[in-house]
Structure 1
Amino acid sequence: MQPSERQDQIVAMLGRASEMTVDELAEALAVSRETIRRDLTRLDARGKVRKFHGGARVMTISTSAMEMEGPYALRLAQNAEAKRKIAQAAARLFQADDSLFIDTGSTTVAMAEALVGLEALVIITNSPRIAATVASNPSHKVFLIGGAYGSDAGESLGPLALEQIGKFRVRHAVITIGAIDANCVMDFDLQEAEVAKAMIERADRVTVLADHSKFDRRAVFEVVPLARIDTLVTDVPPGETIQAALSAAGIDVIVSG
């Protein structure tokens, strides 16, 4: 296991338990206590956890901090390996002749790369980058949604994009999110949330891609209640509260790897 993967797991474990000792983390991850201490030092320096003598606890995030999201270029680099594994696991859900909406996000960019190896998909996206990636496989039929250009993530947004989405009817909507709690999935940007909603309305099934950093988080704009989601693909099993809500909603949870 790479140090970055192990450190992501430490953050996720502390997110569920709130506080753990060095011994508990070392036993859970089958590494030495000294390795855990080094990981905690690095994570503390990055503001991910708060280290104390003999252990660490999850950082307390204020409401105002939770209702913000970093630039897209930064999000592409965050949890990159976890997102790649999520994308590979999600790609196994689809087969030839399936039709997919794919919205714009750092995890769906990884998803596009995973879909290149499949055959004969119909893909509709508002991301030029995703469209160009999947179009490198000539067996795929690709439609690029137009509209107002959002320069941060390089995506089409606004009324024109929503109007074009309404012209399609697909089997699957594959979306990324900013946050998920026991009630719904959310996003930090109104226009991105509107695109995701429009795609969901025109799809038979909904697959959400979300790494563990999205769990127990809040964002301003609701995208869809849990009951509308069919599958969640993630990298780490959710905590008890969210897992219970996902089970109650009948969502199939796939943990990559």
Structure 2
Amino acid sequence: MDEKSMRYVSAPRRRRWILERLRETGFISVASLTQDLAVSDMTVRRDLRKLEEHGEVRVVHGGVSLLHGPMHNPAFAARSGLESAAKAAIAREAHEFIGAEDTVALDAGTTAYAVARALSSDFAGTVVTPSVPVIQLLLSRGRVRVVALGGELLHESQAFAGQMTVDAVKGLRVGTLFLGAAAVDERGVYVATDNERPTKLALIDVADRVVLLADHSKFATTAPVLLCPLDRIDALVTDGPLPDETEALLRHTSTAVILARPERSA
């Protein structure tokens, strides 16, 4: 929908839109909201007061912020901006695998974070994750139960890892794991560092279904650590055509391939 047409929609829909934007940015000015929604300053402030009354936002001087500010380091924020449209499209398709009360695991990484950001407002299930940005994001989603996998914090990936994290995974069971990757080829799924590998493998072991999230760039790059072969993957969600060798192997392993399309403007 054209943002300018928001003046004609209901107040609850405007407020949902404001929350979605806040989950992306952490802060929005009143002036920006007035322009984007094409409504008056008074209308915006009324919407913000209502959201604050429900404990969903904090109204601050000149604008509004989430109750808990963003905890992303610059490296994570920079990676989030790479192929952002592709990640958003992949996240939307990934939601076809999520029921309203499912137990899912979200891997560390920016594409899994996009899935968390796109969770439906109706979702009242459980999210298992080692990702600090995902945990922080879900603090504002009161209906969602979060199982945080603690351990040693890896500052580059903004995630917990190590033996304590692996031990925290043991004894759990999740319906679907949404797995990230640094690279993918016909040999399998790769990660950037070996200290990520044990946590990811532990999550794969406790998942009924593993869904790999990989934008087109992951098939044209390399990473040093092989995580797992493609036969450990039940489904792949991507936004572009696959290399012939990888596509042939995925057919051989009966891995479902879901092609995400960019969202069209109204």
Amino acid paired to 2:88: R
Distance in 2 separating the partners of 1:173 and 1:198: 11
Distance in 2 separating the partners of 1:229 and 1:181: 13
Aligned position for 1:174: 178
Report SS of the residue matched to 2:227: strand
Distance in 2 separating the partners of 1:228 and 1:152: 26
Counterpart selection for 2:228 from 216, 224, 231:
224
Counterpart selection for 1:123 from 120, 127, 136:
127
Amino acid paired to 1:176: G
Q: Is the 8 A contact 1:116 1:134 kept in 2?
A: no
TM-score, reference length from structure 1: 0.69
Distance in 2 separating the partners of 1:224 and 1:136: 34
Residue by residue, what CA displacement relative to the aligned partner does 1:161-182 show, whole Å, maximum 9, x if unpaired? 1110113111111110011111
Distance in 1 separating the partners of 2:220 and 2:122: 33
Aligned position for 2:103: 99
Cα distance change of structure 1 residues 118 and 180 upon mapping to structure 2, 3 Å threshold: farther
Distance in 2 separating the partners of 1:97 and 1:73: 30
Which runs of 5 or more structure 2 residues have no equivalent in the other structure?
1-73, 262-266
Q: Is the 8 A contact 1:181 1:215 kept in 2?
A: yes
Distance in 1 separating the partners of 2:146 and 2:186: 35
Distance in 2 separating the partners of 1:236 and 1:117: 28
Post-superposition offset of 1:199: 0.3
Report SS of the residue matched to 1:136: coil
Distance in 1 separating the partners of 2:76 and 2:175: 28
Cα distance change of structure 1 residues 118 and 132 upon mapping to structure 2, 3 Å threshold: farther
* 2:106 is aligned with 1:108: no
Report SS of the residue matched to 1:233: strand
* 2:141 is aligned with 1:137: yes
Q: Is the 8 A contact 2:106 2:113 kept in 1?
A: no
Residue by residue, what CA displacement relative to the aligned partner does 1:196-232 show, whole Å, maximum 9, x if unpaired? 1110011111001000011154322121111111110
Q: How many residue pairs were aligned?
A: 188
* 2:87 is aligned with 1:83: yes
* 2:150 is aligned with 1:159: no
Which runs of 5 or more structure 1 residues have no equivalent in the other structure?
1-69
Within 5 Å, give how 1:1-257 maps onto structure 2.
71-257=75-261
Q: Is the 8 A contact 1:116 1:137 kept in 2?
A: no
Cα distance change of structure 1 residues 188 and 171 upon mapping to structure 2, 3 Å threshold: same
Aligned-pair identity (%): 31
Distance in 1 separating the partners of 2:246 and 2:118: 27
Amino acid paired to 1:153: S
TM-score, reference length from structure 2: 0.67
Cα distance change of structure 1 residues 72 and 120 upon mapping to structure 2, 3 Å threshold: same
Distance in 1 separating the partners of 2:139 and 2:119: 10
Report SS of the residue matched to 1:219: coil
Report SS of the residue matched to 2:168: helix
Distance in 1 separating the partners of 2:137 and 2:77: 17
Which consecutive segments of 4 or more residues in structure 1 shift more than 6 A? none
Q: Is the 8 A contact 1:83 1:211 kept in 2?
A: yes
Report SS of the residue matched to 1:115: coil
Distance in 2 separating the partners of 1:153 and 1:229: 22
